[in-house]
């Protein structure tokens, strides 16, 4: 960790020494400890520290971007010259106006010393507890536990200067038997927020109940989607439809439909980097304060998230959702702090209202690119799929493939749980959903497996 003063001083030197009309410098530093385990054995315990600086310059309306993982001043100066060379050969971007102006950003608590200092031994002790609980049942345990700290600093030539330290813990666990499996997950800024015994017990219970699954024919079933299943659907919706670039290019399910009813009235989805029940972050990679953006409001298409470039295209301000160029998210504005409003139902009430249906723990191998205008997706159930009859969890069933238009599915939501759960984005170290359990009528399953 560089710390606030050192990080901002370094970036300021680079920005002030630039020949460009405008210059922006972003520093991302991370230090993470990761413990992976499989077959009830810890097979990897590692730590990694990495620092990256992203330099972006503007020559008129021509932009150049360079990323470098050296913090030596001479390397940064050389990278700045490379960014200038790139900008000179670019076409003018007609939508570029300026890098963001400075704004006041209140402090938000995102750093926890206990989480930052969490040791490999402490992580191993938690994991060994799972091994001990699983062993009498003959189950094997797999998953990962990561703890660490990071920092982000942004400086630009318009006087913007922002710094945020943070910590994060991510935990996922799968218990497996020869004929069943169970899953649980959580993520937070603070290690004390994670109920490790409860998560281990959840995965153990799922694995115990999922053994000897029966085949089930595909079809339309009422479905109780637990938070990990809901989360991956929202993550895909964010990727294909809640960002301004896909909206402006006509690829989004919201393109041309703002103000129109697109789901049931019980559905409200928003992005809020300041809500403490999630994994908060104060500003984006342009140093713009995160704004709460309502994306779907009581079933009506309400908005998308912007960075400065996509905002300028519509003469709108950035909502604080810029992502780093060249990263996992491709540099497009995306919602990374997604929430779905809770309902009022208890889990027992949701189960009791089901005649014949399925309980889905989670989905995997989800593909949300089938038809982005309709939010048509497909994927497989995993780690606990159960048949419900007359409000009772009757038996485990073999995994099924779903193919469903998610907007249509969200129009058939009958009940929403009052409790919500944090779920980290699949395949990414950043991004979190806070979502309830959903009871949907007539969710479409189109294929089956033999396991």
Domain layout of the chain by residue ranges: 4-206, 213-448
Asked if 409 contacts 443 with a C-beta cutoff of 8 angstroms, the reply is yes
User: In whole angstroms, what is the distance from residue 47 CA to residue 19 CA?
Assistant: 38
Region 116-140 average pLDDT: 98
Listed range (69-83, 271-285, 301-315, 417-431) with the worst mean pLDDT: 417-431
Tell me the pLDDT tens digit for each residue of 37-48: 999 999 999 999
User: In whole angstroms, what is the distance from residue 354 CA to residue 368 CA?
Assistant: 28
Region 26-53 average pLDDT: 97
Rg (CA), the chain: 23
- pLDDT score of 403: 99
CB atoms within 10 A of CB 373: 17
Considering the chain, what is the average pLDDT of its residues?
Answer: 97
Tell me the pLDDT tens digit for each residue of 197-225: 999 999 999 999 999 999 999 999 999 99
Q: List beta partners, residue 364.
A: 380
Backbone φ and ψ for 230, nearest 5 degrees, come out as -65, -40
User: In whole angstroms, what is the distance from residue 246 CA to residue 372 CA?
Assistant: 9
Quickly tell me which residue has 């990990």 as its tokens: 228
Instruction: Using alpha carbons, select from 289, 393, 312, 315 the residue that is nearest to residue 347.
Output: 393
Rounded to the nearest 10°, the torsion over CA 74, 76, 78, 81 is -140
- Tell me which CATH code domain 4-206 carries: 3.30.2290.10
Residues in the chain, total: 451
Of all residues in the chain, the percent with pLDDT exceeding 70 is 99
pLDDT at 236 over 80: yes
Quickly tell me which residue has 């950035």 as its tokens: 318
pTM to 2 decimal places: 0.97
pLDDT grade, residue 325 (50/70/90)? confident
Angle at 138 between CA 136 and CA 139, to 5 degrees: 110
The 3-class secondary structure across 140-193, one letter per residue, is EEEEEEEEEEEEEEEEECCCCEEEEEEEEEEEEEEEEECCEEEEEEEEECCHHH
- pLDDT score of 240: 97
Region 317-323 average pLDDT: 97
User: In whole angstroms, what is the distance from residue 232 CA to residue 343 CA?
Assistant: 19
């Amino acid at each position: 960790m560089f710390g606030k003063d050192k990080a901002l001083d370094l970036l300021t030197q680079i920005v002030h020494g630039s020949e460009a009309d405008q210059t922006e410098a972003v520093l991302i530093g991370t230090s993470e400890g990761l413990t992976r385990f499989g077959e009830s054995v810890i097979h990897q315990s590692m730590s990694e520290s990495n620092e990256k600086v992203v330099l972006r310059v503007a020559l008129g309306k021509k932009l150049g971007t360079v990323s470098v993982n050296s913090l030596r001043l001479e390397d940064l100066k050389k990278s700045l010259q490379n960014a200038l060379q790139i900008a000179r050969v670019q076409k003018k971007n007609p939508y570029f106006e300026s890098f963001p102006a400075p704004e006041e950003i209140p402090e938000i608590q995102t750093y926890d010393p206990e989480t930052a200092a969490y040791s490999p031994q402490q992580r191993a002790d938690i994991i060994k507890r799972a091994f001990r609980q699983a062993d009498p049942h003959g189950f094997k345990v797999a998953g990962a536990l990561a703890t660490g700290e990071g920092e982000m600093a942004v400086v630009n030539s318009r006087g913007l200067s922002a710094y945020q330290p943070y910590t994060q813990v991510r935990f996922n666990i799968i218990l497996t038997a020869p004929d069943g499996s169970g899953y649980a997950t959580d993520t937070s800024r603070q290690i004390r927020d994670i109920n490790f015994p409860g998560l281990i017990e959840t995965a153990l219970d799922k694995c115990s109940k999922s053994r000897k699954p029966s085949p089930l024919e595909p079809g339309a079933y009422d479905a109780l989607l637990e938070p990990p299943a809901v989360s991956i659907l929202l993550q895909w919706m964010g990727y294909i439809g809640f960002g301004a670039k896909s909206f402006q290019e006509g690829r989004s399910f919201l393109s041309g439909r703002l103000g129109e009813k697109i789901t049931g009235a019980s559905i409200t989805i928003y992005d809020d980097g300041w809500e403490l029940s999630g994994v908060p972050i104060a500003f984006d990679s342009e140093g713009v304060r995160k704004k709460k953006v309502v994306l779907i409001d009581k079933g009506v298409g309400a908005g998308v998230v912007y960075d400065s470039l996509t905002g300028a295209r519509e003469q709108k301000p950035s909502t604080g959702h810029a992502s780093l160029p060249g990263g996992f998210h491709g540099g497009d504005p995306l919602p990374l702090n997604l929430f779905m409003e809770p309902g009022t139902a208890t889990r027992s009430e949701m189960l009791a209202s089901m005649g014949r249906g399925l309980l889905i723990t989670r989905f995997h191998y989800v593909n949300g690119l089938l038809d982005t205008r309709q939010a048509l997706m497909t994927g497989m159930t995993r780690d606990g799929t159960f048949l419900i009859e007359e409000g009772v969890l009757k038996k485990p069933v073999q995994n099924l493939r779903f193919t469903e238009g998610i907007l249509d599915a969200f129009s058939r939501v009958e009940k929403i749980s009052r409790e919500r759960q944090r779920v980290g984005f699949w395949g990414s170290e950043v991004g979190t959903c806070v979502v309830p359990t959903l009871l949907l009528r007539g969710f479409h399953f189109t294929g089956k497996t033999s396991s």
